[in-house]
Amino acid sequence: MKVGLIQQANGGDIASNMQRLATKIRRVALDGAELIVLQELHNGLYFCQTEDVDVFDQAEPIPGHSTDFFGAIARECGVVLVLSLFERRAPGLYHNTAVVLEKDGSIAGKYRKMHIPDDPAYYEKFYFTPGDLGFVPIQTSVGCLGVLVCWDQWYPEAARLMAMRGADILIYPTAIGTESTDIAAEQLRQRDAWQLVQRGHAVANGLPVIAVNRVGHEPDPSGRTGGISFWGTSFATGPQGELLVSLSTTEEAEAVVEIDKARTEQVRRWWPFFRDRRIDAFDGLTERFLLG
């Protein structure tokens, strides 16, 4: 399976961002990609740097304008697309939702982001209700996709449940970077940790991982901080955590990487983590904490 990664720097013009993505999707498809993954909330700016009720006007139903627009491109190019949208489910009820489109442009399935951060410059709890669809892979013509979103990528339980339910690959649309007050050494530690934890999910589950991040600087609309410099570094690994591709830290980029799905079973035969899991001793994982 050939997977396309598209890493883009967005501006405030949603229509322009979408048209640029459409051009890149077509280009990556011509390079042989069968599955193409876009970054988190790819239509516009990362609006969670501030809390602003007017931003809810950007949310849309699913299906809606974006699934129609990108569905037509998926159908034209004959590719499976992983989108990341601001979903309007009902008045006052919104989600950060990944949508998978089939090669015919139809919706194969969706996943609502389960882990919602609330940190300086990442005020996502103001906008998004935690997902309620569970950790369930989405079946497509190119395989069973374990789609998660950004903050989910730090949680081994999420990756494990996707793997246990038959995912062929783990996919993480992402929006993560550095706030301007972090010193350079801390910025590097955070970026390395972000990639390392996901490579660990690949190893622990014997699955390839695709992570597609935003890139470029987006100012803080409030002016209280220096904004976020998204660190790009979109990447793909094989089932032993081996890096297959890692994109620029500062520039827009695209790549097509070949994933050998048959290799997953071979790696799991060498490293039979699923065989040796002590499921009789894992009850504590459903607790918040086990001391006090």
Report the catalytic residues: 40, 113, 150
Biggest CA–CA distance in the chain, Å, is: 57
Give the position of tokens 């789609």: 147
DSSP string, 167-181: -SEEEEEE--EEETT
Q: Which of 138, 264, 252 is nearest to 208 (CA)?
A: 264
Q: What gap in Å lies between CA 15 and CA 61, rounded to an integer?
A: 17
The sign one gets for the Cα dihedral 253, 254, 255, 261 is positive
Count other Cβ atoms within 10 Å, centred on residue 139.
Answer: 16
CA pair distance 169, 79, nearest whole angstrom = 16
With vertex at residue 277, the alpha carbon angle to CA 271 and CA 281, rounded to the nearest 5 degrees, is: 160
What's the rounded Cα separation, in Å, for the pair 240 and 146? 17
Tokens 């050998």 belong to 260
- Dihedral sign for Cα atoms in the order 117, 17, 9, 145: positive
Instruction: Take residue 40 and report the two structure tokens written for it.
Output: 């988190």
